[in-house]
Structure 1
């Protein structure tokens, strides 16, 4: 694999990352958005006011490949030891080990910030993401049936969890 590295999100990265995200909105059931998001909505989803949460840009061979973030799981204080992981990779980058590297990277960030539990909620149609989380020690802890509706079909979500401390 070419050189892979992560760097904190900069505002100049947002349009390219939004394009990657909107690809999944338009072409897959990975995202439950049914229409492309605009720049203000996307920006709000990747910039976090609380410094415990972070979005990092993924670079492979000098080319922006996507992003990984830890973000709040819920807004109530008792959830402060749990974070949610989200990863979106450029479609050409999927299946090259970048997702696993992103999970391992963001886990290290989460440990430094004192998180105890990490979760990822995934559309059950997204087999590559499910495999990546399972390969990295996450266990399925929930399966919600028919909670989304996109392109004329009901969609399930599954939640995977890993205790990291």
Structure 2
């Protein structure tokens, strides 16, 4: 069983997070980025734009396992009630039951920050993420066909949404 902890992101984890993200850039269609991130690009991804958003490092049994974040969904102020949720796990940490509690954790953070809904944008090939989001009550609300091109093929994205039950 994993002893999971979530700590607010700090630059101490920059190299770990960059390693994780660059793996998914270089080896998978999980990220639609095409070139590995440099440290300054990764800093921009990890640092919240303002106090509405959060980034957490996932620690499993005390070791870095990945990161989870809520970012801006759209730039117009009326969208500030909706966040985009993203989870990246170290490749050797996938399939170990870390994703679900990480998503549940960030949902609780979103509730505390008074978000009304969360959006997850996922490559349609990423069946594991789709299963996890679906099991946690996210509904498929969009399917965009052939919107990305990577590894010599066209890629679709699907969007899943969950309206949060706020107390």
2:35 is the counterpart of 1:35? yes
Deviation at 1:46, TM superposition (A): 0.9
TM-score by length of 2: 0.97
| Superposition TM-score, scaled by structure 1 size | 0.98
Aligned-partner Cα distance in 1 for 2:115–2:35:
33
The answer to whether residue 103 in structure 2 is matched with residue 103 in structure 1 is: yes
Structure 1, unaligned runs of 5 or more = none
Q: Deviations for 1:68-92, whole angstroms, at most 9, x for unmatched residues? A: 0001100101101100001000111
- Cα separation, 2, equivalents of 1:120 and 1:101: 16
Q: Deviations over 1:83-128 (max 9, x none)?
A: 0001000111111221111110000000000000100000011111
Structure 2 CA distance for aligned equivalents of residues 97 and 145 of structure 1: 30
What does the per-residue CA deviation read over 1:115-165, in whole Å, with 9 as the maximum and x for residues that have no partner? 001000000111111111011110100000000000110000000000003
SS in 1 for 2:74: coil
Q: In structure 2, what is the equivalent of residue 123 of structure 1? A: 123
Partner Cα separation in structure 1 for residue 131 and residue 91 of structure 2 = 16
**Shift of the alpha carbon at 1:62?**
1.2
Unaligned runs of 5+ in 2: none
TM-superposition CA deviations, 1:33-79 (whole Å, max 9, x none):
11101111111011013112000000001110000000110010110
Q: How many residues align?
A: 165
1:2 CA displacement: 2.4
SS of the equivalent of 1:137 reads: coil
| Runs of 4+ displaced beyond 6 Å | none
Instruction: Give 1:14's aligned residue.
Output: 14
Q: CA RMSD in A?
A: 0.7
1:72 aligns with 2:107: no
- Separation in structure 1 between the aligned mates of residue 90 and residue 138 of structure 2, nearest angstrom: 23
